[in-house]
Amino acid sequence: MTKRSAIHLTAEQEEELTRITQSRTESVASVQRANVLLKYAQGQRISRIALDIKTNRPLVERCIDRALTFGPLQALRDIPRPGCPPRITEEARAWVLSLACSKPAEYGYAHESWTYSLLLKHVRDNYERLGHLCLAKFGKGRLHTILAKSNIKPHKISYYLERKDPEFDEKMATVLCVYKEVEMLNADTCDRSSVTVSYDEKPGIQALKNIAADLMPAPNKHPCVSRDYEYKRLGTVSLLAAIDLHTGEVTSLVRDRHRSKEFVEFLDILDCKHPKEWKIRMVLDNHAAHISKETQAYLKKHPDRFEFVFTPKHGPWLNLIEVFFSKIVRSFLRHIRVQSKEELVERIYRGIEQINQEPVIFRWRYKMDEIIAA
């Protein structure tokens, strides 16, 4: 028999093997093999090593042979084996994935998206015709495994917003520079000669009337307000609002609609509210009423009074007034019920008036330190 060569360990290898032999988290096989290699490197005989670690000689020999072939540390792990051949071929797997990445309507179904049951039914109905006989016993569990490995979820739909404005980045930078300039002006104590407001409309605020009276909470009986599920629609109103980015005060106008006529009326309110020598800068979206002929005619009558900074299309999140709208939806507009549309208008004005008693200055914070004002 050929005598085996000696194993010469480096300082790092010896330190790592020693650590493994003292570890309480490594596998038993790794600890055992590390002991074998350390003892063999110290010159002990194979029979003595097998006796010390209470195992058999073939196991020790296999461990030493792996270390001589692949290295001491690599010998601690089992050599990867080919395993049994896959039951589902790569062609069949690719076919299933291609089905999941297409729409059911392409195959004559009424569904908009696949369900697991529908996809499994289609596979079972067509696998034999396409020659994928390995899918004869294809089940929902194997289908889930194939889709999960490729991170495919054909039963779900996630939404995205396509950028249709070719000048999106430029307009976004302009809006953010305005916010940066406002922040710098707010930090300065000098007198201002302009005001910057964030403006938008919130249409479709519903006036809903209860058919039956609300039942208020009762101790140990009803923990919350009980409300009859039926209600009556009294119409809708639109809220036109602008928040002063310097003081946090909200200017509001509630009307049935939000056309050019109502927008010009709101501009007139801002014009009367601020000193005549001030420039009124408005951050607003691309609604048709903001650029209509009626609006342009009003602006011509008030030259150098208003400056519009438009957010990019499909970029409402750049307008700070949206934060205010979110706030009122989660506060006084939440679960609101009224007896008339006039009551809804009055309560909207009352809620905004209460907010103005303790105004909050809205600031843009995301990556503001990276914005350099021109």
Contact (Cβ atoms closer than 8 angstroms) between residue 60 and residue 95 = no
For residue 371, pLDDT beyond 70: no
What per-residue confidence (pLDDT) applies to 184? Answer: 86
- Structural domain tally of the chain? 3
Question: Across all residues in the chain, what is the average pLDDT?
Answer: 90
End-to-end CA distance of the chain: 84
Between residues 316 and 347, which one has the greater pLDDT?
A: 347
> What pLDDT score was predicted for residue 372?
53
Q: Is residue 59 part of a domain?
A: yes
Q: CA dist 85 to 68, 88, 209, Å? A: 30, 9, 68
Per-residue pLDDT for 91 more than 50? yes
Query: In terms of Cα–Cα distance, which of 12, 21, 66, 56 is closest to 39?
Result: 21
Can you give the pTM of this predicted structure?
0.67
Give the model's pLDDT for residue 233: 95
Predicted confidence (pLDDT) at residue 2 exceeds the cutoff of 70 = no
Q: Are residues 305 and 254 in the same domain?
A: yes
Residue 2, domain member (yes or no): no
Q: What pLDDT, on the 0 to 100 scale, is given for residue 191? A: 73
Domain limits for position 30: 11-76
Which 8-state DSSP code applies to residue 158?
-
C-alpha dist (Å) from residue 315 to 47, 117, 162, 175, 370: 76, 39, 10, 11, 20
Q: What CATH number should be reported for the domain holding residue 329? A: 3.30.420.10
Residue 373: band (very low, low, confident or very high) from pLDDT cuts 50, 70, 90: very low
Q: Are residue 295 and residue 364 in the same domain, yes or no?
A: yes
Can you give the pLDDT at residue 159? 87
Q: Are residues 206 and 275 in the same domain?
A: yes
